[in-house]
Amino acid sequence: KSFLNHTAYLSCYFPNSQKTDIKDLRVFWQKGAVEVVHEVYYGQEKHDNLSPKYINRTKMDMDKWTLQLLNAGIVDEGHYTCIIQHRDKGSPKVIHTSECLLHIIANYSQPEIAWLHTGELKPNEHLNLSCSSSGGYPEPKQMTWLISQENKTSKLKRDMNVSQDAVTKLYNVTSNLNITVPTNILTNISCLLHLGEQLGSLVSVPLAI
């Protein structure tokens, strides 16, 4: 995983137990089946075969056998393969391959609750709220509303509207809540954006009614 516009680190996981000299190795990274991302040709960086979008965006740390992909974007997500060949009696022979999957993460803004109506709230009328968060990636799992009264908190699931920016590929999400105005009891309403198991959740500032 790598944050959007940060450096992604992709490892070859090459133990080099034979302590082979780098001048006898050809190391190249490719994305998918066709795009060459980086090539070290018997100790020298080689740029002839690189896919244009990776030129000047990669660095190889040969001590750690790790490729740095600079300014990682959503288009860089995908499957990468590291292939190492050894020059043995003149003809190169593959001695190591490894694969990794790159996922890009962009932080969503803190969810924010907005009123969808004007005027004074009266008991038993309907309360219309929306909650929104923007500029994140990947697509979130769900948005949940939390209604807290005294010692009790209830969760309400409502439809989540998701839109994706055609250029940046980042997601914006909103959810609307329509409930009866609570009477004679302090109520706190929050909204929770679920980003998936590994990324956790974001919660709004609670709205007190």
What does the longest C-alpha to C-alpha distance in the chain come to? 87
Q: Looking at the chain, which residues constitute the CATH 2.60.40.10 domain(s)? A: 2-105, 109-208
The reply to whether CATH 1.25.40.340 applies to domain 2-105 is no
Q: Which CATH architecture has domain 109-208?
A: Sandwich (2.60)
Is 0.95 topped by the overall pTM?
Answer: no
Q: Which are the contacts of 106, defined by CB distance < 8 A and separation ≥ 6?
A: 3, 4, 74, 135, 136, 137, 170
Question: What is the side-by-side order of every strand in the sheet holding 25-31?
Answer: 44-45, 35-41, 25-31, 78-88, 91-102
Q: Are 15 and 69 in contact (CB under 8 A)?
A: no
Amino acid at residue number 77: E
pLDDT over 90, % of the chain: 57
If residue 41 lies in a helix (H) or strand (E), which one and from where to where? strand 35-41
Query: How close are the terminal C-alpha atoms of the chain, in Å?
Result: 40
Is the pLDDT at 18 greater than 80? The verdict is no
Tokens of 90: 């003149």
The pLDDT tens digits for 20-79 are 888 889 999 999 888 999 999 888 888 888 899 899 999 999 889 999 999 999 999 999
